[in-house]
Amino acid sequence: MGLPALLASALCTFVLPLLLFLAALKLWDLYCVSSRDRGCALPLPPGTMGFPFFGETLQMVLQRRKFLQMKRRKYGFIYKTHLFGRPTVRVMGADNVRRILLGEHRLVSVHWPESVRTILGAGCLSNLHDSSHKQRKKVIMQAFSREALQCYVPVIAEEVSSCLEQWLSCGERGLLVYPEVKRLMFRIAMRILLGCEPGPAGGGEDEQQLVEAFEEMTRNLFSLPIDVPFSGLYRGVKARNLIHARIEENIRAKIRRLQAAEPDGGCKDALQLLIEHSWERGERLDMQNNPQQSSSLVAMKLQPVQPLTDHLLRTLPTRPPESSRRAEEQDGLLCKSNQDNKLDMETLEQLKYIGCVIKETLRLNPPVPGGFRVALKTFELNGYQIPKGWNVIYSICDTHDVADIFTNKEEFNPDRFLVPHPEAVSRFSFIPFGGGLRSCVGKEFAKILLKIFTVELARHCDWQLLNGPPTMKTSPTVYPVDNLPARFTHFQGDI
């Protein structure tokens, strides 16, 4: 074969496909940015739009924090991208996030990716708008009032203590903490939010099946909007259907008890409040929306707290000053407050240093990475145009990372929260539960749960991570690759 033939073959085999690929990328980029508002003279934020159709979703799903940190270093606090099938602007930093969170209904409106809307359903709180959202949130907030939280404290303490007893009984062989924490959080969420008893601690096949279904559902919340067998969306919907079937059984049983005026305990769970709200308004109970609302409540309260407890276990053993100071505080307050060392809201509220430990854990590992909005109109943000119809993601983890009020950001240092920061500066620099009209309804519940877990852990246990500091991945929340093997022994301190 002559040289001209070799060149022609190489051109057809390598060069031409490469040129076609580059041309496709350029056309895709032009197509994406063509939706900019040409009536606005401001430029679009810097950034890239990724591959045709897929955008940069695959890179973000596979690389997560590494991908986001690379984008931040390259483009700054505002950049454009293409995620989950839509052109998107990602923003971070207290000033930018303030505009987004306080611009609800004026500049932006909540708009989660199609996969989230499909899996959780239109009836869940996070997908409701305007008056529907306001009314439903008002009802659910009753389940997280101070009076309700006071009722939940003994239930949470009971579940945590029972769980720790099992961990201590494992002895030298140890256990995998990550799946155990998942089971613990599931049991607490089911008892408090849905008012159902999940069975003896340790559970059986039925409980394990539901735990795995909730994990599968939450793992696939952020997936490409492709509903074909074995896709993330398909698996998420399948898991959701199993959960909804179980919740419907629980709803029917609860309705029978309420109609028969059977006592259902001293505190009303979130599900009971939703049922009674429908009855008070003379509405027919919606057997589609109530399972949607119930499953989303469990998922949104179960999944975020779980990695935070893992983070406490990973962090505290390497910080002796935090451990001893935490223990001294608990010892003094618990002994003064009551004779039998039982926890209540008043005692928990006095544990200021443990509160700082929780805040520092939330700063380093926020429950959710950010929130999704859609631009209701074209508006200006820090010199760039945010076109009408584009998605806007405000980043919680990045905002914490770049906040000027925090020094030595990589260091776990609860003391940083002992000195109050100026409200005007810190309000949007530390937003672990979001902010504005859509701040998390269960944030106080999460804080109380974490405090109780930390107190009971410190009162009863010493522990050792058998593999040392674990490798962490994100999908969609942070988790340890090795499932966090650990050995627990009875606490040998002075408490």
Instruction: Give me the pLDDT at residue 123, please.
Output: 72
Instruction: Indicate whether this model's pTM tops 0.85.
Output: no
Structure tokens at 92: 């971070």
Could you tell me how far CA 358 lies from the centroid of its own chain?
A: 15
Q: Do β-strands 391-395 and 86-91 pair in parallel, antiparallel, or remain unpaired?
A: parallel
Compute the distance between CA of residue 289 and CA of residue 277 in angstroms, rounded to an integer.
13
Specify whether the CB–CB gap between 295 and 289 falls below 8 A: no
Compute the distance between CA of residue 307 and CA of residue 64 in angstroms, rounded to an integer.
16
Instruction: Give me the pLDDT at residue 495, please.
Output: 45
- Conformation bin of residue 45: beta by default, left when phi > 0, alpha when psi is -120 to 50: beta
Helices (H), 197-288: 205-219, 232-259, 270-280
Instruction: Give me the pLDDT at residue 47, please.
Output: 93
Specify whether the CB–CB gap between 451 and 358 falls below 8 A: yes
Compute the distance between CA of residue 185 and CA of residue 180 in angstroms, rounded to an integer.
9
Instruction: Give me the pLDDT at residue 235, please.
Output: 93
- Residue 196's φ and ψ, nearest 5 degrees, are -120, 145
CATH no. for 35-490: 1.10.630.10
Instruction: Give me the pLDDT at residue 3, please.
Output: 60
Structure tokens at 295: 């499953």
Residue in the structure block whose two tokens are 């309705």: 255
Compute the distance between CA of residue 183 and CA of residue 12 in angstroms, rounded to an integer.
57
**Averages of pLDDT over each 10 residues, the chain, 495 residues:** 61 62 59 74 91 81 82 94 90 94 92 86 77 80 85 90 92 88 85 71 69 84 82 90 84 79 65 76 64 69 66 66 58 55 84 87 85 94 95 94 89 84 72 86 87 86 84 71 88 62
The residue among 302, 304, 313 whose CA lies nearest residue 454 is: 313
Instruction: Give me the pLDDT at residue 81, please.
Output: 93
Can you list the positions of beta strands (E) in 376-454? 379-381, 384-386, 391-395
- Residue 67's φ and ψ, nearest 5 degrees, are -65, -45
Compute the distance between CA of residue 445 and CA of residue 450 in angstroms, rounded to an integer.
9
Write the burial class of residue 403 (CB in 10 Å: 0-12 exposed, 13-18 middle, 19+ buried): buried
Instruction: Give me the pLDDT at residue 299, please.
Output: 67
Could you tell me how far CA 240 lies from the centroid of its own chain?
A: 17
- The CB density around residue 376, as the number of other CB atoms within 10 Å, is 16
- Conformation bin of residue 483: beta by default, left when phi > 0, alpha when psi is -120 to 50: left
Compute the distance between CA of residue 333 and CA of residue 330 in angstroms, rounded to an integer.
5
For residue 485, the SS3 value is strand
